[in-house]
Amino acid sequence: MNTAPISPIRLLIPQDVAALAVGAERVVKAITSHAAADGTAITITRTGSRGLFWLETLVEVETPAGRIAYGPVNPQDVPGLFNAGFLLGGAHPLRLGRMEDHPWLKGQTRLTFARCGIVDPLSLEDYEATGGYKGLRHALSIGPAAIVAAVTKSGLRGRGGAGFPTGVKWKTVADTKAPQKYIVCNADEGDSGTFADRMIMEGDPFCLIEGMSIAGIAVGATKGYIYSRSEYPHANRTMRAAIAEAYRTGRLGTDILGSGVTFDLELRVGAGAYVCGEETALLESLEGKRGQVRAKPPLPAHKGLFGQPTVINNLISLATVPVILAEGAAYYADFGMGRSRGTMPIQIAGNVRHGGLYETAFGVTLGEIVEGIGDGTATGRPVKAVQCGGPLGAYFPPMLFDTPYDYEAFAQRDGLIGHGGVVVFDDSVDMAAQARFAMEFCAIESCGKCTPCRIGSTRGAEVVEKIMAGREVDANLALLEDLCATMKFGSLCALGGFTPYPVLSAVRHYPEDFRRRHAAAAE
């Protein structure tokens, strides 16, 4: 009998909430108890997700030949996996081999998501071993002006929706004198079909902390807030733990990395209001008020949180900064097309076979995303519509699948890249119902400041309802167009101003869904 102590075999299993949602905890339990019964020593490291959600629960085993993955693993697969010797990388129908070689990951360019799903999210050792804090160290050595210049040169544009150049925003705040400035991370990821912010908070939270610290140095801000959502309790837990760990190890506080620079960071949580993702509503909410949109000017860069100059950026914008500083602006700007530089974490969701997070350079076509990368619908039926950019984004029919994923190309087709969400619908979807929902959602979430948004959306939902009932379809379609025009031009922010895009795109591309009942009613 061999009594020599053997080091335990290490497994890596995601703790990402999407993995938990399909039973990761039960898989962990099954593996743990099976190993205990066998007397096999194992340790399980919980990671974020690599973002291939159809393969969750993904179980990776560390072997001399690298990390061998199995997935999707269900609890009932566990005995079979043990029998197949999966702890040594044994053959099994669920064996996927090394994830680095998996085509879905091989096709990606992971810059912002380089670590997500690979490291222990709360291990600073893992973080630094994979290039973490290289960007901040470089930032400290080059100083504020050079940091802003690098971010500008990288071509990074805001990933929250509007695509505004991040470096330009930072420069405005850097140039504004004030006793206190703030960095605010917009993690109020409310768009349906998006989960990139959430995955970073759960899978690589130090990357956000590093990015925000760099932003603080660049503009002279000593305090940061992350505004997250109450719908993300798991992400918030991990993010809070990471902040505590960063404080404990001198990576936040009065002397970050021994540089003498102060940067404090706090997580705040919203309360279920979509409009609080709008930057000025978010600032109001952070101040403890109703989340009502502020008129601009003044810009947050001049008068933001508590009246002070504030950088407010989407989480992905901020989490992309470390790699830009670590690898250089040119490295990042080399990816992409036209004025869309770098990479975008595209989030493929809804009725799709291969849903998940796909980070790639701008320029891939919508058709490649949906039919190629996403592999068509989950139900196996034809794709009918794809909503891009969240609830304020247009519905694209397959006819427009040649549209390249690029801010300008999407805008030319009345579309929106937004925060990178792509939601697929099969041919069973009723586009009139989707148009009605867009109006209803606007009515539910309106902050109430503008009449066209508040009242127009309620009217809009009623009008679509009438069209769906086949009542005076022509007159009501004309009325709907009018309402949309009023909302577009009479709204202070994009909630009221962009809701017409999903509505009108549905009318334009799927007229039959608005006329079907008309024909039926006339019979």
Partner 1 sequence: MPNPSLRPTWDPFRAEAIIADHAQMPGALLPILHALQEEFGHVPEPAVPLLADALNLSRAEVHGVITFYHDFRHDPAGRHVVKLCRAEACQSMKGEHTASHLLRRLGIDWGGTTPDGSVTVEPVYCLGLCATAPAALVDGEPHGRLTPESLAGIVEEARRA
Q: How far is CA 186 from CA 268, 293, 315, 317, in A?
A: 10, 15, 6, 10
- 91-126 exposure pattern, b = at least 16 Cβ within 10 A, e = fewer: ebebbbeebeebebbeebbbbbbbbbbbbbbeebeb
Cα–Cα nearest to 405, from 347, 449, 459, 462: 347
> Closer CB to ligand SF4, residue 111 or residue 439?
439
Among 275, 438, 443, 450, binds ligand FMN (CB under 6 A): 275
Q: In terms of C-beta density within 10 A (0-12 exposed, 13-18 middle, 19 or more buried), how is residue 146 classed? A: middle
| Sequence-separated contacts (24+) of 481-489 with Cβ below 8 Å | 481/507, 483/456, 483/459, 484/460, 486/452, 486/456, 487/442, 487/452, 487/453, 487/456, 487/457, 487/460, 489/452
| 239 near ligand SF4, rule: CB under 6 A | no
Asked whether position 502 contacts ligand FMN by CB under 6 A, the answer is no
| Binding-site member from 71, 160, 216, 367 for ligand FMN (CB under 6 A) | 160
Residue 269 interacts with which of ligand SF4, ligand FMN, partner 1, none, CB < 5 to 8 Å by class = partner 1
Could you give the CA distance from residue 318 to residue 479 in angstroms, rounded to a whole number?
42
Among 49, 112, 154, 186, contact with ligand FMN (rule: CB under 6 A) = 186
**446 touches which of ligand FMN, partner 1, ligand SF4, none (CB within 5 to 8 A by kind)?**
ligand SF4
Structure tokens at 130: 């994979």
Tell me the closest approach of the beta carbon of residue 89 to ligand FMN, in angstroms: 41
Q: Which among 15, 97, 28, 71 has a CA at the least distance from the CA of 354?
A: 71
Among 33, 164, 482, 489, indicate the residue that binds ligand FMN (CB under 6 A).
Answer: 164
Interface with partner 1 (CB under 8 A), residue from 15, 31, 56, 461: 56
Nearer to ligand FMN, 89 or 190 (CB): 190
Strand order in 182-186's β-sheet? 264-269, 223-228, 182-186, 310-314
Q: Residue 273 interacts with partner 1 (CB under 8 A)?
A: yes
Number of residues that bind partner 1 (CB under 8 A): 61
Counting contacts by CB under 6 A, is residue 161 touching ligand FMN?
Answer: yes
Task: Report yes or no: 13 and 50 within 8 Å, Cβ to Cβ.
Answer: no
Binding of ligand FMN by 279 (CB under 6 A): yes
Q: Is 417 in the site for ligand FMN (CB under 6 A)?
A: no
- Chosen from ligand FMN, partner 1, ligand SF4, none, partner binding at 160 (C-beta under 5 to 8 Å by type): ligand FMN
Of residues 397-456, which lie at the interface with ligand SF4 (CB under 6 A)? 446-450, 453-454
Q: Report if residue 336 touches ligand SF4, rule: CB under 6 A.
A: no
User: Of 159, 181, 251, 303, which one interacts with ligand FMN (CB under 6 A)?
Assistant: 159
Contact 510, 434 (CB under 8 A): no
Contacts of 290 (CB under 8 A, 6+ apart): 284, 447
Dihedral, CA atoms, 226, 230, 233, 239, nearest 10 degrees? 0
**Which of 158, 376, 389, 420 is the binder for ligand FMN (CB under 6 A)?**
158
Using CA atoms, how far residue 232 sits from 4, 228, 304, in Å, is 45, 7, 25
Q: Are 48 and 357 in contact (CB under 8 A)?
A: no
350 sits near partner 1 (criterion: CB under 8 A) = yes
Helix (H) or strand (E) holding 139: helix 134-142
Cα(473)–Cα(120) distance, integer angstroms? 57
221 vs 493, which CB is nearer to ligand FMN? 493
Least distance to ligand SF4 from the beta carbon of 495, Å? 4
183 contacts which partner out of partner 1, ligand FMN, ligand SF4, none, CB within 5 to 8 A by kind? none
Nearest Cα to Cα of residue 430 among 482, 457, 390, 469: 469
Residue with Cβ nearer ligand FMN (157 or 251):
157
- Binding mask 87-126 vs partner 1 (x if CB under 8 A, - otherwise)? ----------------------------------------
Alpha-carbon distance of 55 to 96, in angstroms, equals 10
Piece in contact with ligand FMN (CB under 6 A), picked from 171-179, 308-316, 365-373, 461-469: 308-316
CB of 390 to ligand SF4, least distance (A): 14
Which one of ligand FMN, partner 1, ligand SF4, none is in contact with 492 (Cβ closer than 5 to 8 A by kind)? Answer: ligand SF4
* Two tokens, residue 440: 């209803």
Nearest to partner 1 of 96, 447 (CB atom): 447
Q: Which does 80 bind (CB under 5 to 8 A by kind): ligand SF4, partner 1, ligand FMN, none?
A: none
Q: Residue 217: enclosing H or E segment and its boundaries?
A: helix 205-219
Where do the H-state alpha helices sit in 401-510?
Answer: 407-412, 431-445, 451-468, 473-490, 494-498, 500-509
Interactions with partner 1, residue window 217-246 (CB under 8 A): 230-235
Give the binding range for ligand SF4 (CB under 6 A) out of 210-218, 322-330, 372-380, 488-496.
488-496
The span from the CA of 66 to the CA of 63, in Å, is 5
Instruction: Using alpha carbons, select from 16, 323, 312 the residue that is nearest to residue 173.
Output: 312
CB 493, min distance to ligand FMN, A = 4
Asked if 219 touches ligand FMN (CB under 6 A), the answer is: no
Tokens matching residue 41: 């020593």
Catalog residues that contact partner 1 under the rule CB under 8 A: 17-18, 20-22, 53-54, 56, 189-195, 197-198, 230-235, 268-274, 285-292, 306, 347-352, 355-356, 378, 387, 391, 421, 423-426, 429, 434, 437, 441, 444-445
Residues in the site for ligand FMN, rule: CB under 6 A? 158-162, 164, 186, 188-190, 275, 277-279, 312-314, 317, 419, 493-495
